[in-house]
Amino acid sequence: MNNQSLMERRNAAVPRGVASATPLFVKHAKNAELWDVENTRYIDFAAGIAVVNTGHSNPTITQAVTAQIDKFSHTAFQVAGYENYIELAERLNALAPIDDAKTILMTTGAEAIENAVKIARHYTERRGVIAFHGGFHGRTLLTMGMTGKIAPYKEGFGPFPGDIYHIPFPVPYQGIDTAYSLQQLEKLFKTDISPTSVAAIVIEPIQGEGGFYAAPKELVQQLRTLCDEHGIVLIFDEVQTGFGRTGKTFASEHYDVQPDMITVAKALAGGYPLSGIIGKREIMDSPAPGGLGGTYGGSPVGCAAALAVLEELESKSLNARAQDIGSQLHKAFSEIITLNPNVPIRHIRHKGAMFAFDFLADSQPDPSQVAPFVKACRDDGLIVLPCGQFGNAIRLLPPLTVENHILEEAIDIMRKALLSLQ
Ligand SMILES: Cc1ncc(COP(=O)(O)O)c(C=O)c1O
């Protein structure tokens, strides 16, 4: 068995709509490294797209999952409940920056956002949803509609559900600031939907697929004020930013603002499909029994994994480690640019270990350099992912448990790849 033969079988058996970021097929993985079926070893700075913050095959998580499977793997929480769902909800309610919270568990990120909107609509008895240009919320019809990027996520998949509106997300490098975003929101309230018809504003505190741009504090604080003024539910989509990635358990904690709801998934269960919505009790209790749920939502296996993830976050001080990783990457890339001003990257940015930079040519986004850089890294044994509205950004998502010598090795590979592109 080799990568080539598996790719041929994959292409014959699996639709091309599921993209392949790499031509690799995995044999096994450990912490920040994985080995393909040809036994070639890679450093994995994709981390399953921000999922294995706690590392691949984390022994604490594996042990917790194995113990759970030995007892039972599925009953459907709404048929016969189990303690670890309740315990996880209690833990998330206590950890999230929302006073007096309740949590419902689901399976995927998109499902969490769908349900957050359902709950907000039920509570407010309103229909409108406002999201941001460049935002990504998932691949279901509603979340696709909320996503603020056409290709490849929305092209050919419409029509989308109605009553979804988009406003600009502040990105300093694109000349969009907080004042402009808020102006556009006010304009939207006048031209497209009255604020009294808006159920929710949904924002990623740091856009993930959109390019790792952090929402400015003043924007988030103004949104809070506007939502309070108009009775709108403020939802933070923390599917990509949650659980230590930004140096805090929730990115919301950087903003001194309480959202009404937070959606979580990905790193929550370190590789097992689990998502959740944490929200204010009064809002969360709006839908009647039976209005919310799902066969696999809050799987006991996922809950066991998530409780182990929370243990790992605490016992290994992974929030602090994320900040340390981000600082090391920032220092290394700043040095690369200072010593080699011709390397075609700028706009180094990070919040904790959510790190990105842009490829530019004549100060404009230049996506043409991205594929050669990604390939040069992979040829030297490092997996990295692109992102960004213009496809010209590279995002680094190392597991927060990455060993220092592996981090340094990855930096060396990226330095070499960048110098080869000069
Ligand atoms: C911010 C954000 N929201 C929602 C999603 C969708 O999550 P899922 O792919 O688990 O449905 C993603 C996935 O990348 C995401 O980054």
Is the same domain home to 266 and 379? no
The pairing of beta strand 364-365 with beta strand 33-36:
unpaired
CA distances, 395 to each of 106, 154, 350, 351, 361 (Å): 27, 22, 9, 12, 18
Cβ of 136 closer than 6 Å to ligand 1, yes or no, is yes
User: Any bridge partners for residue 261, and if so which?
Assistant: 235, 279
Structure tokens at 351: 């919040």
Sheet holding 261-264: strands in order across?
Answer: 101-106, 275-280, 261-264, 233-237, 198-203, 128-132, 164-167
Is the same domain home to 243 and 322? no
Number of helices followed by number of strands (H, E) in the chain: 13, 16
Judged on CB neighbours under 10 Å (0-12, 13-18, 19+), 265 is: buried
Distance 10 CA to ligand 1 centre (A): 24
Residue pair 297/111 in contact (Cβ under 8 Å)? The answer is yes
Distance 362 CA to ligand 1 centre (A): 33
User: Any bridge partners for residue 279, and if so which?
Assistant: 102, 261
Q: How far is CA 287 from the centre of its chain?
A: 27
* Last residue within a domain, chosen from 268, 287, 315: 315
In what helix (H) or strand (E) does residue 35 lie, and over which residues does it extend? strand 33-36
Which portions of the chain are predicted below pLDDT 50?
none
How high is the pLDDT of residue 185? 98
Residue pair 314/249 in contact (Cβ under 8 Å)? The answer is no
How high is the pLDDT of residue 389? 87
Q: Distance between CA 287 and CA 285 in Å, rounded? A: 6
Q: How far is CA 364 from the centre of its chain?
A: 26
Domains of the chain: total: 2
How high is the pLDDT of residue 173? 86
Is the same domain home to 216 and 332? no
Closest atom of ligand 1 relative to the 237 alpha carbon: 1
Q: On the CB side of 152, how many CA atoms lie within 13 Å of its CA?
A: 6
Is the same domain home to 337 and 249? no
Catalytic residues: 136, 237, 266
Closest atom of ligand 1 relative to the 108 alpha carbon: 10
Q: Distance between CA 341 and CA 338 in Å, rounded? A: 6
Cβ of 237 closer than 6 Å to ligand 1, yes or no, is yes
Q: Distance between CA 30 and CA 149 in Å, rounded? A: 34
In what helix (H) or strand (E) does residue 373 lie, and over which residues does it extend? helix 370-379
Residue type, 294: G
Is the same domain home to 81 and 221? yes
* Last residue within a domain, chosen from 287, 315, 343: 315
Distance 338 CA to ligand 1 centre (A): 35
Strand ranges (DSSP E) for 114-256? 128-132, 164-167, 198-203, 233-237
Q: Distance between CA 260 and CA 239 in Å, rounded? A: 16
Domain that holds residue 331: 3-54+317-421
Nearest to 54 by CA among 243, 278, 228: 243
Structure tokens at 175: 């000349």
Is the same domain home to 79 and 171? yes
Is the same domain home to 335 and 290? no
Distance 113 CA to ligand 1 centre (A): 9
Radius of gyration (Cα) for the chain, nearest Å?
Answer: 21
Q: Distance between CA 237 and CA 50 in Å, rounded? A: 14
Return the residue whose CA atom lies nearest to atom 3 of ligand 1.
137
Is the same domain home to 278 and 136? yes
Structure tokens at 24: 């690799």
Structure tokens at 302: 């996922």
Q: What is the CATH number of the domain that holds 69?
A: 3.40.640.10
Cβ of 276 closer than 6 Å to ligand 1, yes or no, is no
Q: What is the CATH number of the domain that holds 399?
A: 3.90.1150.10
Judged on CB neighbours under 10 Å (0-12, 13-18, 19+), 114 is: buried
Is the same domain home to 269 and 327? no
Q: On the CB side of 97, how many CA atoms lie within 13 Å of its CA?
A: 17
Is the same domain home to 308 and 368? no
Is the same domain home to 361 and 229? no
Task: Return the best residue to mutate from 147, 153, 240, 272 for the ligand 1 pocket (most ligand atoms within 8 A of CB).
Answer: 240
Is the same domain home to 280 and 351? no
Peptide bond into 205 cis (omega under 30): no
The residues near 391 (Cβ < 8 Å, ≥ 6 apart) are 365, 367, 370
* Last residue within a domain, chosen from 295, 315, 335: 315
Following CA atoms 296, 280, 113, 276 in sequence, which dihedral angle do they give, to the nearest 10 degrees? -30
Phi first, then psi, for residue 217 (nearest 5°) are -55, -40
Nearest to 283 by CA among 229, 220, 232, 224: 232
The residues near 332 (Cβ < 8 Å, ≥ 6 apart) are 411, 415
